[in-house]
Amino acid sequence: MSKVLGVDFGERRTGVAISDDSRTIAFPRETLDCPRTEQAAAAVARLAESEKVAEIVVGYPLNMNGTTGARTARTDEFMAELAKRTVVPLKKWDERLSTKIAEAVLIEAGTSRGKRRGVVDKLAAQVILQGYLDATASPVAENEP
């Protein structure tokens, strides 16, 4: 097997996580400060190439009722830009509540508000990627939008 890259694309920052070679565990990697879509796509493509990943899983921001919105359209733009920059297959993965889960973990750990801002995006990417890894370890992946 080979590694998978998880991405939590955001307005200003993009969180990135990476799996182990066996695709069992997701690890938070880094938070990219890339306010422009093109910058974020280029940075993620470079990271995917340097890590030799087999897939890139991008968190797909659906509304709680399953509909799409402005954030979904912006993520589609990011994925289109990323697809121009890499041959690595891209997958969409429902990211509902991933940031809330990451924030809750940081609050539980006693992380200050200032420090949370710097790590919440890469932890959200870890939550997204771990969900994907867990679901695809079984024969049926149920979360793909």
pLDDT in tens, 102-131: 666 656 766 666 665 667 788 889 999 999
pLDDT digits (tens, 9 = 90+) for 32-88: 999 899 999 999 999 999 999 999 999 998 877 888 888 899 999 999 999 999 999
What does the pLDDT read at residue 100?
Answer: 66
| C-alpha to C-alpha distance for 128 and 130, rounded to whole angstroms | 6
The bridge status of strand 13-19 relative to strand 26-33 is: antiparallel
What does the pLDDT read at residue 67?
Answer: 81
Superfamily classification of domain 4-137 = YqgF/RNase H-like domain (3.30.420.140)
| C-alpha to C-alpha distance for 36 and 137, rounded to whole angstroms | 34
Closest CA to 120 of 95, 93, 142, 137: 95
Of how many residues is the chain composed? 145
CB count in 10 Å sphere of residue 77: 14
Please say whether the beta carbons of 19 and 25 come within 8 A. yes
